Amino acid sequence: MKIYSTNQIKNIVLLGSAGSGKTTLAEAMMFEGKVIDRRGTVDAKNTVSDYSEVEQIYKRSIYSTPLYTEYNAHKLNIIDTPGADDFVGGVVSAMKVADTCVLVINALSGVEIGTRTLSRVAEKNKKPTVIVINQLDNEKANWDNSVESLKNLYGKRIVIIQYPLATGDEFNGFIDVLKMKYYTFTDDNGTRVENEIPAAEADRAAEYHNILVEAAAEHDESLMEIFFDKGELSEDEIRKGLSLGIKNRSAFPLFCASARKDIGTKRLMDFIINVAPYPDQGNIFTTDNGTNIICDAAGQASLFIYKTAVEQHIGEVNYFRVISGTVKEGLDMVNANNDTKERISNLFASAGKKREKVVELVAGDLGCTVKLKNSKTNHTLNAGTDWKCEPIVFPDPKFRTAVKAKNEAEDEKLSELLHKAHQEDPTLIVEYSKELKQTILSGQGEHHINILKWGLLNNNKMEIELFPPKIPYRETITKIATADYRHKKQSGGAGQFGEVHIVIEPHIEDVPDKTMYKVDNKEIKINLKGKEEIKLDWGGKLIYYNSIVGGAIDARFMPAILKGVMDKMEEGPLTGSYARDIRVTVYDGKMHPVDSNELSFRLAGRNAFKDAFKKAGPKIMEPIYNVRIFVLSEYMGDIMSDLQNRRAIIEGMESDNGFEVIKARVPLAEMYKYSTTLSSLTSGSATFTMQFADYQQVPADVQEKLLKAYEAEEKDD
């Protein structure tokens, strides 16, 4: 492969709902660029991008796949991304390195819920977007409905470049109002004929052309002056105006295609080459300290890894974008994230599992390498500079499950495999919860987790079990209580003795320290000698007061009492969950000149706290999540009913371009497999996000069930 300069490279990401035809469009692009000499199909399981066994089984993209094609003296880097919401991580990482989005719309369905989700991701990343209505050869294709749904989404920013004269079996071409030509296709391999626009379509084409010219002119004052002066713009002037409009997302050019028949592919590629931004005009990489990195082939060599994959017989493959300078084979670089020295032993341009060896890649280009020692997704490698790029921010997980190996002897192996899975897909989160004593696996949905399970079984011969995870409850108190406990033990030799008197109360921020308590008609005067404020790892605080007077307990034993209190804070008296937001005052006690020691006071402190806790109106608190559900209005009733059954509090509703958005607060305990339920209730047309909000007390009936379940568990143990 020849070496392409920065101004000969275009980086695009293919977006679209599952079934929109992204993979087929990518095949057509590579075919037109002669990277492949035969187009595969998803049904035949021989496409370049969906080459993994699991993708071929499900007949859909599951992983983002870097591809390329060579066309009109340019290199087009293409990333084919999954359409299912469960695999949005591949979309997010591709957004980091692409300069332009190509949004593929299924002509049968128009804008779908997945389209809107992907559109939000593109908007968040401020990506220029070109739109293609695909599958116009399908008998159920509807151009007008698809365009209308796009206008509902983007408004007047939709700029029609092409439109078909017919759809379904009769779709064999389109009128291009930029070129003002009628293109027809004579076979299924992209062979096209350029015709004059039929007389019957002249007025309609002229109308669309005028709208296009006006849309191009409004993005540049000089073009507007030319337009007012001449009433027309040249083809190059239209392109200039559209280029500006695309860059600031005020114009969304619209094309029509049948990727299956290779209709429209060349014109789409022509447009991307002529109008879409080059790498030094589009994506701006920023360091973690806010410095913009100039995309300059003559600058210091630097690359950013956006994807890590593990392949059999090869090991780790790191996919990257050159963000500055020129990266060559044999170049020594330093990983800015961990200071590891790395050598770039091989460079490749990637087209699925086919990799073309190259000797160098310049700023703005995409490529991959192997055999890096300690470099992963989100790492920056430099030669001669110390840049560290802002990382890709992946979406929060929406599905949570506990996992373990069927064979307990393979637990360590499972841990290693899950760690590797996270490196390949950062939206898979794995953590061992000391609190829950479970390994918790989180992802974007049940299908996401099941794909991982399939891979572990079929690629690693690892059988796993998935089961409902425990909920990380918290325990706290609602009123003041006091208790005392004497630990006394004599069994020959030195004995054990420690007596502790404490008072506890809920901790509320900014409430002043007490000097007097009245509990059970008994007044307890507090003489504050010391105070420790402990910010707990699991949230909330413990405030520990020393109010011992007269030497009732030696100061050297106060830390031991605190350790005893912390023992029960880490294993709450009600359900064994972490306790939080409590004030503990040690105000009296006794010690023995010979038998008192740290262990005695630790045990006394632990049991005094436990007794006081149970008298202080103890409450169990549960994690609450903010949930946003995007759904068609026709399913609102079913969704609302289901949320009520999940103890949700509905906080509001709003409309979002034809979809309804329900905002609710829902207990985590009620969200298990919610993604699956939502899909079932809405025929797969809804999606949602969830983020941790806070902890709230559980209802009395729920607390009673939890207490009984814990008691039964304790008896079994």
- Could you give the CA distance from residue 74 to residue 106 in angstroms, rounded to a whole number? 28
161 neighbors 257 (Cβ within 8 angstroms): no
User: In the structure, what pLDDT confidence band is assigned to residue 629 with cuts at 50, 70 and 90?
Assistant: very high
pLDDT at residue number 713:
80
Q: Which residue has the tokens 């790029």?
A: 389
Q: With the C-alpha atoms ordered 458, 459, 463, 466, is the resulting torsion angle positive or negative? A: negative
DSSP, res 635: G
Q: How far is CA 366 from CA 99, 322, 654, in A?
A: 11, 6, 40
Q: Which two tokens stand for residue 532?
A: 């420790």
| Residue type, position 165, single letter | L
- pTM, entire model: 0.89
**Torsion angle of the four alpha carbons 609, 615, 616, 622, in this order, in degrees rounded to the nearest 10:** 90
pLDDT at residue number 594:
87
- Phi, psi values for residue 701, rounded to 5°: -70, -35
Q: Which residue has the tokens 């890709």?
A: 392
| Residue type, position 692, single letter | F
336 neighbors 387 (Cβ within 8 angstroms): yes
Q: Which two tokens stand for residue 677?
A: 């339920």
Structural domains of the chain, ranges and CATH numbers in brackets: 6-210+253-275 (3.40.50.300), 285-383 (2.40.30.10), 399-470 (3.30.70.870), 475-608 (3.30.230.10), 620-702 (3.30.70.240)
Would the pLDDT of 315 be above 90? no
Count the neighbouring beta carbons within 10 Å of the beta carbon of residue 472: 18
User: In the structure, what pLDDT confidence band is assigned to residue 151 with cuts at 50, 70 and 90?
Assistant: very high
User: Cα angle vertex 193, ends 187, 195, to 5°?
Assistant: 140
pLDDT at residue number 248:
93
- Could you give the CA distance from residue 400 to residue 118 in angstroms, rounded to a whole number? 23
User: In the structure, what pLDDT confidence band is assigned to residue 711 with cuts at 50, 70 and 90?
Assistant: confident
299 neighbors 325 (Cβ within 8 angstroms): yes
Q: Minimum mean pLDDT among 248-252, 359-363, 655-659: which range?
A: 655-659
Average of pLDDT values for 400-414?
A: 95
| Crossing angle of helices 235-247 and 202-217, rounded to 10° | 60
Q: How far is CA 92 from CA 106, 119, 154, in A?
A: 21, 12, 21
pLDDT at residue number 64:
96
Q: Which residues contact 68 (CB under 8 A, 6 or more apart)?
A: 30, 35, 75, 76, 77, 78, 349, 350, 351, 366
Q: Which two tokens stand for residue 584?
A: 């503990």
Would the pLDDT of 137 be above 70? yes
For 576-609, what is each residue's pLDDT tens digit? 999 999 999 999 999 998 899 999 999 999 999 9
- Could you give the CA distance from residue 362 to residue 112 in angstroms, rounded to a whole number? 38
Q: Which of 233, 196, 230, 203 is nearest to 217 (CA)?
A: 233
Determine how β-strand 687-697 pairs with β-strand 158-160: unpaired
Q: Which residue has the tokens 């190259």?
A: 358
Average of pLDDT values for 308-319?
A: 89
For 30-56, what is each residue's pLDDT tens digit? 999 999 999 999 999 999 999 999 999
Q: Which residue has the higher pLDDT, 134 or 229?
A: 134
pLDDT at residue number 550:
87
pLDDT at residue number 230:
87
Which uninterrupted H or E stretch holds 456? helix 446-460
Residues linked to residue 106 through DSSP beta bridges, in sequence order:
110, 134
| Residue type, position 349, single letter | A
For 486-532, what is each residue's pLDDT tens digit? 999 877 667 899 999 999 999 999 999 999 999 888 899 999 999 99
Would the pLDDT of 251 be above 70? yes
User: In the structure, what pLDDT confidence band is assigned to residue 311 with cuts at 50, 70 and 90?
Assistant: confident
User: In the structure, what pLDDT confidence band is assigned to residue 717 with cuts at 50, 70 and 90?
Assistant: low
623 neighbors 472 (Cβ within 8 angstroms): yes
For 342-396, what is each residue's pLDDT tens digit? 999 999 999 998 899 999 999 999 999 999 999 999 999 999 999 999 999 999 9
For 48-84, what is each residue's pLDDT tens digit? 999 999 999 999 999 999 999 999 999 999 999 999 9
pLDDT at residue number 626:
97
Average of pLDDT values for 117-127?
A: 92
Average of pLDDT values for 317-345?
A: 97
- Could you give the CA distance from residue 162 to residue 266 in angstroms, rounded to a whole number? 13
Average of pLDDT values for 17-28?
A: 96
pLDDT at residue number 220:
87
Count the neighbouring beta carbons within 10 Å of the beta carbon of residue 530: 12
For 186-214, what is each residue's pLDDT tens digit? 999 999 999 999 999 999 999 999 999 99
Count the neighbouring beta carbons within 10 Å of the beta carbon of residue 263: 26
Mean pLDDT, rounded, of the chain: 94
For 438-494, what is each residue's pLDDT tens digit? 999 999 999 999 999 999 999 999 999 999 999 999 999 999 999 999 999 877 667
Q: 134-162 burial, b for 16+ CB within 10 Å, e for fewer? A: bbbbbeebbbeebbebbeebbeebbbbbb
For 276-286, what is each residue's pLDDT tens digit? 999 999 878 99
Through-space distance between the first and last CA atoms of the chain, rounded to whole angstroms: 66
